[in-house]
Each structure stands twice: as C-alpha cells, then as structure tokens.
Amino acid sequence: MENESEIIKSVHEGKKDAYEVIVKKYMKKAYFIALGFVENQQDAMDLSQDAFIKAYRSLTKFDTTKEFFPETILLRYFQGFSYSEISDILDCPIGTVMSRLYYAKKKLCKKLEGVLK
C-alpha cells in the first residue's frame, strides 16, 4: 500500500478515488476520537465525516515535501506509535515530537471550541 504522501500526490494528479484509501484506513479511529469529544454516536459520526471532507478539500494546500504537525498526530493517535518511535520515524528529537503534539492539540482544541459549544 502507498504511504499517505503518495496517496495525496495521486489525489493532486486527479485520482480522487485514491483518498478513499486514507478514509478507510482511519475512519474507525477518527470516529472513536470524535466520540471521546462529543459522547454521542451520531455526532461523532458527523464530526469524523466532516473532518475527512475538510481534509479532502484542503489537500491542494498540502505540500508533501514539508514536515507538518498532522504527520506527528497521525503517527501518535491514529497509528499508535510512542514518542520514541515517532522520533525515530521522523528523525527528530523526542522534545520536538512532544512540542509538535502539544501545539497541534492546542490548535485543535481552539478550532473545536466553536463546534462543541
């Protein structure tokens, strides 16, 4: 299976069906993360679907050549890697991993404030 960067490149090249691979890979985990926030099954389903739609619409802004916080989030929360494993995968210090996750969670909480109220 292609990695996420290769799939995103395929979507950029007009292969819209390629995004389905990402959705299928992460939809259960996204649902359960959303369920932890809203504690309602239907709201969690809606929230996770909205997240995938927004992510798809934002793919044109995604630069597969740059490091980004979502990569760290995916490795930690969707693929279950430890800080040490992420550090090895991304070839960066554990402190950088911790910092990226901290700021990514902070940014996510700020964005969710309006949605959850």
Which amino acid, 72? T
Name residue, tokens 């700020």: 110
Name residue, tokens 């901290």: 102
Q: What is the DSSP string of 9-52?
A: HHHHTT-GGGHHHHHHHHHHHHHHHHHHHH--HHHHHHHHHHHH
pTM: 0.56
Whether 67 has a pLDDT exceeding 70, the answer reads no
Tell me how far apart the alpha carbons of residues 20 and 53 are, in angstroms, rounded to a whole number: 11
**Mean pLDDT of the region 78-87:** 86
Q: Classify 107 as helix, strand or coil.
A: helix
Which domains does the chain carry?
A: 1-61 (no CATH), 67-117 (1.10.10.10)
Indicate the pLDDT class of residue 115, thresholds 50, 70 and 90. low
Q: What is the pLDDT of residues 26-55, one digit of tens each?
A: 888 888 877 877 888 998 899 889 888 887
